[in-house]
């Protein structure tokens, strides 16, 4: 997400608690609970051709994430969706990244914060590709992370909560320091889980295998890819996957709103080809996200 301009200095507007404010004026206090205690939930969405892909599913998940963290967003799903669409037009973008976020404010500072205001904001900016496009076509290289996705008895793993991404940042930084694009994270049992910001799929003998999301996020893009694969007639198996099984897989790819569909050529000691199934699903996803009216016009 590198930018030549710091993100707090971009142009345009941010929707914040029901009001469109100039980008540089969208500020919070340093003693905001969400900053100190990670009491924040967010979504990552993409707009294609002026329409936000699966906006309903993302906004409903934002509300559900907040519920899991014990607070209620003071704006309905419809209100947030309307704000996202209006902000996209106000920013003047057709293709863009959309980031809604909700967090506890600064009324109480401490672990306990029942009386804090629940704030909500939406920012939209242009973000062409999560991984280097040239690297993506060859298949990106992943390290194997030191940190693991936690036992769901120890963290709210069904929520897209800010605090769950701390070990993702640490793992991605460590991987990049070693020349990798990202890292594969195992789960608390030592099974394959996901990358630091995307779900993972493997291919063997024409069958797709993907880890069961019982301790990490069941991504909206992940579910989309499963639907596209089944539409193609591919079998999809959701199951526990042990790291040593990667030796026998032929193809591998990541899926996520930011990553879209990204082939993987290497995970630690394991190698994969950028094969036809990965390429087909990459193309199918690209077609799926285009607005239906645009597809019809073509």
In this predicted structure, the answer to whether residue 114 has a pLDDT above a threshold of 90 is yes
Separation CA 59–CA 233 (nearest Å): 30
Can you give the residue ranges of every domain in the chain? 7-125, 133-288
Q: Tokens for 1, please give them.
A: 């997400």
The pLDDT > 70 percentage for the chain reads: 96
Residue 178 contacts by C-beta under 8 Å, 6 or more apart in sequence?
143
pLDDT on residue 243: 98
Looking at 96-188, list the stretches that DSSP marks H as alpha helix, in order from N- to C-terminal side: 133-138, 166-177
Residue 42's pLDDT band, with cuts at 50, 70 and 90, is: very high
CATH topology of domain 133-288: D-amino Acid Aminotransferase; Chain A, domain 2 (3.20.10)
Pairing of strands 118-125, 13-16: antiparallel
Residues with catalytic function: 160
Separation CA 137–CA 146 (nearest Å): 27
Separation CA 156–CA 162 (nearest Å): 11
In this predicted structure, the answer to whether residue 30 has a pLDDT above a threshold of 70 is yes
Reported as a single tens digit per residue, the pLDDT across 160-173 is: 999 999 999 999 99
pLDDT on residue 2: 53
Q: What is the pTM of this model?
A: 0.93
CATH class of 7-125: alpha beta
pLDDT on residue 3: 60
DSSP conformation letters of 7-44: GGG-SSEEEETTEEEEGGG----TT-HHHHH--EEE--
pLDDT on residue 157: 95
Half-sphere exposure of 176 (CA within 13 A, CB side): 9
Residue 131's pLDDT band, with cuts at 50, 70 and 90, is: confident
What are the DSSP E strand ranges found in the chain?
Answer: 13-16, 19-22, 40-42, 45-48, 51-52, 96-104, 118-125, 140-144, 182-186, 192-195, 199-204, 207-211, 235-239, 251-256, 260-267, 270-271
Average pLDDT, the chain: 95
In this predicted structure, the answer to whether residue 297 has a pLDDT above a threshold of 70 is no
Mean pLDDT over residues 82-104, rounded? 98
């Amino acid at each position: 997400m590198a930018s030549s301009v710091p993100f707090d200095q971009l142009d345009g507007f941010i929707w914040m608690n029901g009001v469109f404010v100039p980008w540089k004026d969208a500020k919070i206090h340093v003693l905001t609970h969400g900053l100190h205690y990670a009491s924040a939930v967010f979504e990552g969405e993409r707009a294609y051709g002026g329409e936000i892909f699966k906006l309903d599913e993302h906004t409903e998940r934002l509300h559900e994430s907040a519920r899991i963290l014990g607070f209620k967003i003071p704006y309905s799903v419809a209100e947030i969706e309307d704000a996202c669409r209006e902000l996209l037009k106000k920013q003047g973008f057709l293709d863009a990244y959309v980031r809604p976020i909700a967090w506890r404010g600064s009324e109480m500072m401490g672990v306990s914060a029942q009386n804090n205001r629940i704030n909500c904001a939406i920012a939209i900016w242009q973000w062409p590709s999560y991984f280097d496009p040239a690297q993506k076509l060859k298949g990106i290289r992943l390290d194997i992370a030191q940190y693991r996705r936690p036992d769901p008895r120890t963290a709210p793993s069904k929520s897209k909560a800010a605090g769950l991404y701390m070990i993702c940042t640490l793992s991605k930084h460590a991987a990049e320091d070693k020349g990798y694009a990202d890292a594969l994270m195992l789960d608390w049992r030592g099974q394959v889980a996901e990358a630091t910001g995307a779900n993972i799929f493997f291919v063997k003998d024409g069958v797709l295998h993907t880890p069961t999301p019982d301790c990490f996020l069941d991504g909206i893009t992940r579910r989309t890819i499963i639907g596209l694969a089944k539409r193609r007639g591919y079998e999809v198996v959701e199951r526990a996957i042990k790291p040593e099984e990667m030796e026998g897989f032929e193809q591998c790819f990541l899926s996520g709103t930011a990553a879209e569909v990204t082939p993987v050529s290497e995970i630690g000691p394991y190698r994969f080809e950028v094969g036809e199934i990965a390429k087909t699903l990459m193309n199918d996803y690209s077609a799926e996200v285009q607005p239906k009216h645009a597809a019809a016009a073509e």
